[in-house]
Amino acid sequence: MNEPAIELSDRGPFPEGDIRGLQILNAAFIAGLLIFVGVTIFLYFTAAEPKAPRNGEASPESLQLLSITNAVVFILSSAAGFFIFRLRLAPIAKACSDSPHASPVDFLDEIKRAFILRMAMLEAPGIMGFSVCLIGVTGFAGSTPEIHGHPIYWLNLLSPIVAITFLGVTFPTQEKLSRLLSDEQKSLYR
């Protein structure tokens, strides 16, 4: 009557085609961020040193505001992405632990949606981070490029670097998905 729950990893693998789809999507998110970060760095090293601005000292207020906004968006979006991801997986793990006939494969569409949402929530501040650097490298609406005189703005690249690293570490595989859902099921009973 009180039989131990079957581990999620013992219930059968996820279809290889679905895992391949998640892997391709994850790789596309990583590639997109890498390409744009690379373009930003390339433009910095190929651009000529900016001339002195016409009205005296360059005003970095716009990059300061964008940098602060990027930091806030990065923190909030990352936290929301992790929270929503766990929130979407918890009912799946609970349903699988409550019913010996339920399998995570039955909830594959919901699992894919959770992964895609988390990837998007991580990519958004990454895009904003390299955009701020790109504006600093090229100037904005005819303004003087400000990143040459204020290298602190390169810190905006932390958001895409963190996103790329996290997406690489959590790259979906059969083993990682099974372990993730198994850990999720165990956390229900803590």
In this prediction the pTM is 0.77
pLDDT in tens, 118-150: 999 999 999 999 998 888 888 765 666 777 778
Mean pLDDT of the chain: 81
With a cut of 80, say whether residue 60 has pLDDT above it. no
**Other CB atoms within 10 Å distance of the CB of residue 179:** 14
In the structure, how many helices (H) and strands (E) does the chain have? 5, 0
4 pLDDT band, cuts 50/70/90, is: very low
pLDDT at 54: 52
Q: DSSP characters for 142-187?
A: TPPP-TTT-GGGGGGGHHHHHHHHHHHHT---HHHHHHHHHHHHHH
Q: Where are the domains of the chain?
A: 15-43+62-187
Nearest to 140 by CA among 56, 59, 39: 59
pLDDT average, residue stretch 5-14: 52
